[in-house]
Chain A
Amino acid sequence: MKTEIKLIKNGKRLDGRKNDELRPIKIEAGVLHRAEGSCYLEWGGNKVLAAVYGPREAVPRHTQNPLRAIVNARYNMAAFSVDDRKRPGPDRRSREISKVISEALENIIITEKFPRASIDVSIEILDAEAGTRCAGLTAAAEALVDAGIPLKDIPVACAAGKIEGEIVLDLGKEEDNFGDADLPIAIAPRTGEILLLQMDGHLTQKEFDKALDLAIKGCKTIAELQKKAILEKYQKNMEG
């Protein structure tokens, strides 16, 4: 099934990036009025909207935890987000992503503060171009800060992968489709703790270590952008 596409030409990738270069990222916090916290993020061709509701009483009742809050992240791709129309509604893939994002966020939110509550995070993918789970999680993190939910750190996600035998940062669409491996991770940038790690394809131990290091480096770069975006919104409010 392999289509022959040259992914690397004279040391540059298809979109002209270097191996350790990210796609352009734009983050804006607090874009929705009815949500407690929200964020709009553009990451290359990805366009993501994240909203946070709660903490509010968890329903149905049996899902409540008397000791801590539960985190419900819902990752949803719009029907028009991909080239062929995607059948709307949750599917196997989006349910998996919802689960891993929920678990990643659960470990960074101070959930003990809100027993019996649920914190609902809704992630809508408006436009997709590889790496939507990383974009979604990064946007969700920003929305959580905007919602004033107690966090231990601001989580951030980024992927690395292997194309034509080389380890590269932040795979683009063709690189994801025709590349050899994809390694999305999410970390708490302050401590470097890993909150999410998935892998598609094969990497040797050595390649894996290299890819992980590269992805962590990418995460830290994005963490700075996240901080800048949230400060931009609230520092302005303080002066004005």
Chain B
Amino acid sequence: MTKNKVILPGEQVATTEELMSGEGTYEDNGVIRASRLGVFEIDTKNRRAKINPLTSVPVEIKTGNIVLAKVNSVRSNMVIADVIHVIGKSRQVSGDTNATLRVSEISNGYTKDPATEFSTGDIIRAKVTQVRPSLQLATKDKDLGVIKAVCSKCRASLVQKGNMLECQNCDNKERRKIAIDYGNYDINKL
């Protein structure tokens, strides 16, 4: 196959005897076909056929991705959050966004109650540890945790003071698992 030829969806790129079906391809009766517009490439390490896309492609959450999520509810042994963005991707998340963060995955130390570390409405940065059967997150790292939180009493945004967060409106002090760049996160540099 000539190099740098643009392949259209449905075009044959290889057979199943030669290669395995990889990203951007699908198998059809022993033939590997492209499923998106792009340039054909052989992943020689894994012997996989691959289509490097020329268009933008849907964002699939993968294990190891760093994501932004919004805390939905805090239970006694886990936190439920909605994934809103995958860092480094420009398109919206496809498919299931409902994720859970277990107590044991919150921080390196011992956490008795997730309610001391997170509260509903917090925007957190987390790492994906599992995608199937359900989305699992972890915040066991310095740069993971809450990046934006609001006061639970008056809903004004909280400002970091040492290890704690403080409300400038009502002087309420709250505890969180704070990411290292709390409050300074550039949302435009997603």
A residues with a Cβ closer than 8 A to B are 36-37, 54-57, 69, 110, 113-117, 145-154, 188, 190, 227, 230-231, 234-235, 237-238
**What are the residues of chain B within 8 A of A116 when measuring CB–CB?**
95-96
Q: Shortest Cβ distance from B44 into chain A, in angstroms?
A: 22
Q: Would A190 and B10 count as touching, CB distance under 8 A?
A: yes
**What are the residues of chain B within 8 A of A113 when measuring CB–CB?**
60
**What are the residues of chain A within 8 A of B28 when measuring CB–CB?**
152
Q: Would B93 and A56 count as touching, CB distance under 8 A?
A: yes
Partner of B94, one of A114, A146, A152, A190: A114
Q: Would A145 and B93 count as touching, CB distance under 8 A?
A: no
CA A37 – CA B58 in complex, angstroms?
Answer: 11
**What are the residues of chain A within 8 A of B97 when measuring CB–CB?**
57
**What are the residues of chain B within 8 A of A37 when measuring CB–CB?**
55
Given contacts A114-B94, A115-B96, A117-B95, contact A152 B54 (CB under 8 A): no
CA A105 – CA B70 in complex, angstroms?
Answer: 33
Helix, strand, loop or mixed for chain B's interface?
loop
Q: Would A153 and B26 count as touching, CB distance under 8 A?
A: no
Q: Would B10 and A153 count as touching, CB distance under 8 A?
A: yes
Q: Would B55 and A148 count as touching, CB distance under 8 A?
A: yes
B57 at the interface (CB under 8 A from A): yes
Partner of B8, one of A36, A154, A188, A237: A154
Q: Would B26 and A149 count as touching, CB distance under 8 A?
A: no
**What are the residues of chain B within 8 A of A150 when measuring CB–CB?**
9, 24, 26, 35-36
B92 at the interface (CB under 8 A from A): yes
**What are the residues of chain A within 8 A of B39 when measuring CB–CB?**
238
Partner of A149, one of B6, B58, B95: B58
8 contacts between A and B (CB under 8 A): A54-B58, A54-B92, A56-B92, A116-B96, A148-B58, A150-B24, A152-B26, A234-B37
**What are the residues of chain A within 8 A of B10 when measuring CB–CB?**
151-154, 188, 190
Q: Shortest Cβ distance from A12 into chain B, in angstroms?
A: 35
Q: Would B8 and A145 count as touching, CB distance under 8 A?
A: yes
B91 at the interface (CB under 8 A from A): yes
Q: Shortest Cβ distance from B55 into chain A, in angstroms?
A: 4
Nearest first, the 8 closest Cβ-Cβ pairs linking A and B are A153-B10, A55-B94, A150-B35, A148-B57, A148-B55, A151-B9, A117-B95, A234-B54
Q: Shortest Cβ distance from B100 into chain A, in angstroms?
A: 15
Q: Would A234 and B93 count as touching, CB distance under 8 A?
A: no
Q: Would B6 and A231 count as touching, CB distance under 8 A?
A: yes
Residues from 1 to 44 in B contacting A, C-beta threshold 8 Å: 4, 6, 8-10, 24, 26, 28, 33, 35-37, 39
B12 nearest in chain A by CB position = A190
Q: Would A56 and B94 count as touching, CB distance under 8 A?
A: yes
**What are the residues of chain A within 8 A of B93 when measuring CB–CB?**
56-57
CA A190 – CA B29 in complex, angstroms?
Answer: 14
Partner of B95, one of A57, A147, A153: A57
Q: Would A55 and B37 count as touching, CB distance under 8 A?
A: no
Given contacts A56-B93, A115-B95, contact A151 B35 (CB under 8 A): yes
Q: Shortest Cβ distance from A30 into chain B, in angstroms?
A: 8
B8 nearest in chain A by CB position = A227
Q: Would B55 and A146 count as touching, CB distance under 8 A?
A: yes
B76 at the interface (CB under 8 A from A): no
Q: Would A110 and B4 count as touching, CB distance under 8 A?
A: no
**What are the residues of chain A within 8 A of B57 when measuring CB–CB?**
148
